[in-house]
Structure 1
Amino acid sequence: MSGEPDGYDCHRDGGPYAGVADFLGRIAADRPRLASRHAVELHAIAPRLDPAARPAAEEQPIRFHPARRTAALAYGAAEFAAAWAGTLRRPVTVRFDHVADADETTRELLDALARRTGPTALHLDLRDGGPARPEAADPTPEALRAALGDSLARGFYHHAARTARRGRATVTPHGDLRHWWGFTTGLATALAALDETTEALDLYREARAATDDPKITMSAAYATAMLYARHLPAADQDPEQARRWLAEALRLAADLDDPRQRTLSTVFYEQGVALLDSRAGEPARALRLIDDGLARLAAVLAPGERPQDLARLRHNRAQVHLALGDPARALADLDAVIAHDPDNCEYYVDRAALHRAAGRRRAAIRDLDAAIRLGPHLPEAYYNRATLQQERGRAERARADLERALAVDPGHLDARIALVNLHLRRGALDAAEAGARAGLALAPDEAALLCTLGLVLAERGRLAEADELFTRALAGDPKLVEAWTNRAAVRFDRDDVAAAVADLDRAVALSPDPVPRYNRGTALLRLGRWDDAARDFADALARPDLDRALRRDLRAELRRARRAAAR
């Protein structure tokens, strides 16, 4: 890469991805074919690389990206940089300045680069200081509003929050209500995305105290309802408060002068009511609201207008159809949703789940491929695709997907558990133990990981430690059949057969799976309880879809138990 600058300025005054976006842009110019394979993440990080990119036209888009998306962007960008570094013929050192004052997106990406590039020809020189920076001019409220809208639309919430706070410091509700409200609701939106919901509630409370402007109080009422319905921590969510604020938003929407805007606002707010109805076990009532909303939108929208609004309602309806036990209609809605809004990764994840439930694994994998491409690198899509690959007997592909999911989101416990179990099944005890311990460092009481680590230690002959781990797992999840079954196996091996039977009694009571019955029958044979053992073997044999080897073993043990009982 010729003409490398002395250093890239990462100061947060340069906005999200300051410095790193310029670095990635230079690589992209150097390796356009490689860049094309990472277009989604590169265009999100550095929009100037996308010839079709446009600034965010609205400050309140139909949907907001989740805050975790930046981790996926960082993963993809680091993969791109690592692939480029692998082609270098001589070492290259790249300096990044003002890292201590960088935006969160920049620091996250630099961390990902440091992890991924590792022992390659690319060396990162990260400096907290750097050349003196010129003093920035104070931007106008209009410029701050534009920057705020762009950051919200792109999912860069820390920068959005800083920008909104800066804007609020320049205006007052009495001197410039329009800008003050724009900064206030923008700050609340960013805080909600960052799970700082208490302050977001306070901001809407402040807005209602500052003005009686009906449009502002209407928007504040709806946003407050959604905080109570979905954004507050689960223990603090309050459906009744949410309904009260939705009723207030709908009352104010009914008084809007413009009949078209009145319809749009009313339909939009009623989707919140439908969400609450569905959660309250009233999916039929939710369905009526959504159907009515779609009909009213069709009456006021021109063909092709606001496709994302229509897609969102149909997506809501698909979820309700599922709740009503109608997957065919849910699939039809999701097909229409994707036709309306083909760039939304979550729709493909939902449709993949329907395909998988219907046994259409290839179609499910295609949808998950699309979700990963559009997401990009959505951990949940990697995890779901890994599950499908395991079902198809493709363990190595499953392992690669699980490792990718964890590279993007090290805290993805389901992926961690699945990967550890995959290591265990292939006999890679060291990898399984390391993975389980890494997961337990993040979630010390996770029962499934405690159980899996117990299995590893049992395989190593450390039976007392394994017994303790299974006991800890059961303290956290008394319904974990695997822990009862595996603790029973350990106790059987330690010659505590009566305790093993007691554990297997619990497992059998919790699950129709034939394995606990087989194991209990084996333990009962050891105790000389031939008739009881025969009943367990016979019950296990009556289960459908038995593995051929298990069926053979059960028949042999049943004959043995009956012969012993007949003596």
Structure 2
Amino acid sequence: MRHVWVEAALPRDRRAAAAGAEGLLGAFDCRVWERGPYGGVGEFVRRLVLDQGRSPLVVRHQVELLCAVRDLKPAMPWATEAVAALDVADVQIRFHPARRTRHLAYGIAEFVAAWAAERRSPAAVVLDGVDEADGTTVELVGTLLRRVDPSRLRLYVGGASLPDALAASVGGCAEPLAVTPSEAAPEDAAEAHDPAWHDERADALAATGEWSWRLGALPYHRERGTRPTTDGVEALRTALGSALQSGFYEHTVRLAERGLRLVTPATDTRNWWAFTTMLATALTALDRPAEALALYDRVRRATDEPRIHLSAAYSTAMLHARHLPAPDRDLAAARTWLDRALALAERIEDPRERTVTTVFHRQGLALLDSRAGDHSAALRTVEDGIARLAQTLAPGERPQDRARLVHNRAQLHLALGDPVRALADLDTVIAQDPQNAEYYVDRAALHRATGRPDEAIADYGTAIRLGPHLPEAYLNRAGTHSDLGRPEAALADLDRTLRIEPDHLDALVNRAGLFLDAGELDLAERDAHAGLELSPDQPHLLCVLALVAGEHGRLPEAEALLTRAVEHFPDLPAAWANRAAIRFERGDVPGAVADLDRAVDLDPDPVALLNRGLAHRRLGDPAAAAADFTRALAADPGPDPGLRAELLRELASCTPPAGGRRSP
């Protein structure tokens, strides 16, 4: 097995593939059992960072760089915010969502693209062994292929066969490399060595102190060395903990499954349970909750250990409460499992541990009460937990745990209609756990809802920096910019959202609407079709397509699209109002009035009232028209100055209108 990447030259039989590549930086081994997740591509990124030092570009991307390539930590002591985020992750009580690696890939690709654009001459790099890479590497390489200008950086992607996710991308931006049979099976060479050789290799790698070896080659060699059930198990468990806390869930599953081959509940209960519960956590994060549920069922049959049963009962409850798909979710079963977990918690001998465990398990009851609509009962449970922790823990002890409970209380205050207390709690939460991006997103939403857009934008920016690159933060910041009349800034944030997650439906909906408002009909239609491929009856996108069709004079098509929208979403006033406008243009004035009746019932918007007044006048009912114009003028909030002037003119005049005005 090859353990080091070639820094200055390519293997002989690859020379033809990369011959003449300008600015060739070297070949980097991406196989997961070398340097783990991100592997060789992480080493390539590390090379770039070490060459630049504390440049503005590195500073701007410090969080994603360190989260993906922890070997950079000794070289970036100045990156206090990013280092703090890593330190927090090491004691984290909540796990990253699986899609976070997409966000990291976006940030790193932006970094590499900017580096390549700033170079005086083009560069090239070989990323080898991608067929045996972790999903994080495949994801990052794919993002690089989409984001990096191939005239500035040429990627040569090597492997026995390319993963499906990359096969379509290799070509215009990169070159595939042919692989000889001996190179396609690296583990065969390693298996030819005896256990003592694996011990020596592991010792040499451990002596480097480099974090990435702990995730790949170290557990690989320890498992094949002379002490697989001790040193091998310990190396696998160390790697497993790091992978899980980092959100590298595909590798977590890989490591846990290998560990479970070496231990049993009878021979090593502690490590068997660690491998099992971390495997279940990773499966849940990967949206495979049924497999996690089956795993906990096997646990209960395999051991009588009370603490393991306690943890398995609580985890089973949360699977039913949060993670199983709707047909399989059972909130009654969740409450039963929570009661069982709490009963087992009461048997813990140490009073301090018993209190803390009980407090956190009772948060599950608060969740179930809140889901059932009893927010007051949930609030009482959370406040009791906060008080009990204050009595039990020393000042400043377990700040993240305390922040979690205060965050729960903030959400309940909001559900009970008390934004002032919710905001105060979120301020406290952020003071206790300032590295958690989720809290800034929640506080930003509250700032936005209560009329503090500048504070919202600041909090969204912090969330984007710490997250890093949370699509929801970009999306919601776009909405705030739009509220402030900044369509260009809103479009820029929506573009970023869709570069991170091209299938983000809400971002497509909002960008299509902004393009429509700007008169960019082709772009609005493009986004609407892309969104409808994800959700065929999305009503806002049907409205966009209808308005585009109407602008092009295709009125029957527009009406048919809006009919689909109101059939699938009858509570959307804009769909009714827009169909009314189309019907008015087609001469169906009674149909327009009927649609506007529905729109006004749902939302007495001044524009809808103006349009209904115009329709009433067309039908010869000036009294009904005057009533609608008067009601629109008295609306709260009132119409904008231009609309107000139009309403006053219509109210004062009996001139028949030439046509209706569409709702936005």
- Quickly name the TM-score band, shorter chain normalised: over 0.9
- Separation (CA, whole Å) in 2 of partners of 1:57 and 1:532: 64
Q: In 2, are the aligned partners of 1:59 and 1:152 still within 8 Å (CA)?
A: no
Q: 1:22 matched to which residue of 2?
A: 43
1:487 CA drift (Å)? 1.4
- Aligned-CA RMSD value: 2.1
Deviates more, 1:287-296 or 1:154-163: 287-296
TM-score, with length taken from structure 1: 0.95
- Separation (CA, whole Å) in 1 of partners of 2:413 and 2:153: 52
Give the secondary-structure state (helix, strand or coil) at the position aligned to 2:336.
helix
1:57 CA drift (Å)? 10
1:554 aligns with 2:574: no
TM-score, with length taken from structure 2: 0.81
- Separation (CA, whole Å) in 1 of partners of 2:525 and 2:598: 27
- Separation (CA, whole Å) in 2 of partners of 1:563 and 1:459: 23
Q: In 1, are the aligned partners of 2:617 and 2:656 still within 8 Å (CA)?
A: no
- 1:411-446 Cα offsets, whole Å, 9 max, x none, are 222221111111111111121111111212222221
Q: In 1, are the aligned partners of 2:25 and 2:123 still within 8 Å (CA)?
A: no
Q: In 2, are the aligned partners of 1:334 and 1:351 still within 8 Å (CA)?
A: yes
- 1:258-314 Cα offsets, whole Å, 9 max, x none, are 112111111110111111122222222222222221222122222222111011011
Instruction: Could you tell me which runs of 5 or more consecutive residues in structure 2 were left unpaired when the two chains were aligned.
Output: 1-6, 9-23, 78-82, 161-178, 191-219, 224-231, 658-664
- Separation (CA, whole Å) in 1 of partners of 2:26 and 2:47: 14
Aligned residue pairs, count: 563
Q: In 1, are the aligned partners of 2:103 and 2:469 still within 8 Å (CA)?
A: yes
Q: In 2, are the aligned partners of 1:531 and 1:562 still within 8 Å (CA)?
A: no
Deviates more, 1:170-179 or 1:41-50: 170-179
Q: 1:83 matched to which residue of 2?
A: 114
Q: In 1, are the aligned partners of 2:134 and 2:250 still within 8 Å (CA)?
A: yes
Q: 2:497 matched to which residue of 1?
A: 405
Deviates more, 1:555-564 or 1:275-284: 555-564
- Separation (CA, whole Å) in 2 of partners of 1:530 and 1:118: 63
Give the secondary-structure state (helix, strand or coil) at the position aligned to 2:98.
coil
Q: 2:155 matched to which residue of 1?
A: 124
- Separation (CA, whole Å) in 2 of partners of 1:557 and 1:10: 70
1:340 to 403, 426, 432: 432
1:60 CA drift (Å)? 7.9
1:438 aligns with 2:530: yes
- Separation (CA, whole Å) in 2 of partners of 1:236 and 1:321: 30
1:505 CA drift (Å)? 2.1
1:111 to 142, 145, 167: 142
- 1:473-499 Cα offsets, whole Å, 9 max, x none, are 222211121111111211221222222
1:56 CA drift (Å)? 8.2
- Separation (CA, whole Å) in 2 of partners of 1:178 and 1:272: 25
Q: 2:33 matched to which residue of 1?
A: 13
Q: 1:502 matched to which residue of 2?
A: 594
Q: In 2, are the aligned partners of 1:58 and 1:149 still within 8 Å (CA)?
A: no
Deviates more, 1:53-62 or 1:122-131: 53-62
1:12-51 matched pairs, under 5 angstroms: 12-14=32-34, 15-32=36-53, 33=55, 34-51=57-74
1:407-486 matched pairs, under 5 angstroms: 407-486=499-578
1:137 aligns with 2:232: no
Amino acid at match of 2:107: G
Q: 2:227 matched to which residue of 1?
A: none
Q: In 2, are the aligned partners of 1:56 and 1:150 still within 8 Å (CA)?
A: no
1:226 aligns with 2:246: no
Q: 2:3 matched to which residue of 1?
A: none
- Separation (CA, whole Å) in 1 of partners of 2:621 and 2:349: 82
Q: In 1, are the aligned partners of 2:125 and 2:155 still within 8 Å (CA)?
A: yes
2:96 to 61, 65, 75: 65
- Separation (CA, whole Å) in 1 of partners of 2:540 and 2:280: 37
Q: 2:464 matched to which residue of 1?
A: 372
- Separation (CA, whole Å) in 1 of partners of 2:571 and 2:159: 51
1:541 CA drift (Å)? 2.1
Amino acid at match of 1:560: S
Deviates more, 1:57-66 or 1:109-118: 57-66
- Separation (CA, whole Å) in 1 of partners of 2:306 and 2:656: 85
Amino acid at match of 1:137: H
1:90 CA drift (Å)? 2.0
- Separation (CA, whole Å) in 1 of partners of 2:280 and 2:350: 27
1:563 CA drift (Å)? 9.8
1:84 CA drift (Å)? 0.4
Deviates more, 1:179-188 or 1:213-222: 179-188
1:456 CA drift (Å)? 1.4
Amino acid at match of 2:600: V
Q: 2:624 matched to which residue of 1?
A: 532
Q: In 2, are the aligned partners of 1:60 and 1:149 still within 8 Å (CA)?
A: no
